[in-house]
Chain A
């Protein structure tokens, strides 16, 4: 069954702790993205990657880091520098970056601060 898998579904972070959100896709897509969604709001782009070993900052990259060592995987680390990390995090992928290429989303990870 092809798609995007995010884990865990729920994650809790303590003060000063870094946490990593997993995103794996088996769609053979080159481009992958991380978005943040706050209650009642739309999605904001954190980071995106067009190809393995390359990634770019989105609109709200401060306090986050990513890696793209494999085509299938694009993990997101929420660092202690992110002062307001509580949000719903969504990973997406597309075959490329062009506007006509649709994004497919994972089921999301809800991150909360203890």
Chain B
């Protein structure tokens, strides 16, 4: 399974865009990139996922490089409620989630 590498922690000012990078250099062709976030003692919350193309939804945007070896999650206007641990995940079939180390994002007022 492909593994992911993320920075341990990041800070972002409230109202600014938060850009969270992820490296997944061993990803295979049929594996999707997923982003989830988790607040302490709660279940992970789905944010966005993609295979090759950039994706956008009401929560965030996902930018995947052309070689698919890395991606960036963008929260366009960060709020205090966005403070959480963000996981970049490569998913193959059978629900097998290969979790990275996660990035602890802190939104600063």
A contact set with B: CB distance below 8 Å: 4, 6, 31, 33, 35, 41-43, 45, 48, 56, 58-59, 88, 90, 92, 94, 97-100, 102-108, 110
* Chain B interface size, under 10 / 10 to 19 / 20 to 34 / 35 or more: 20 to 34
Which residue of chain A is the closest to B87 with respect to CB atoms? A42
Which residue of chain B is the closest to A58 with respect to CB atoms? B96
Residues of A within 8 A of B102 (CB): 42
Additional A-B contacts beyond A43-B97, A56-B94, A100-B49 (12; CB < 8 A): A4-B43, A42-B99, A45-B96, A48-B94, A99-B31, A99-B32, A102-B34, A102-B46, A104-B46, A105-B36, A107-B42, A110-B41
Q: Would you call A43 and B99 a contact (CB within 8 A)? A: yes
Q: Would you call A31 and B41 a contact (CB within 8 A)? A: no
Residues of B within 8 A of A90 (CB): 43-44
Which residue of chain A is the closest to B32 with respect to CB atoms? A99
B contact set with A: CB distance below 8 Å: 30-32, 34, 36, 41-46, 49, 51, 87, 91-100, 102
Residues of B within 8 A of A45 (CB): 95-97
Q: Would you call B32 and A103 a contact (CB within 8 A)? A: no
Known contacts being A42-B87, A105-B45, A107-B42, is A100 close to B100, with CB within 8 Å?
no
- Whole-angstrom distance from the CB of B16 to the nearest CB of chain A? 27
In angstroms, Cα B36 to Cα A108, docked, is: 15
Q: By CB atoms of chain A within 10 A, which of B45, B93, B98 has the most?
A: B93
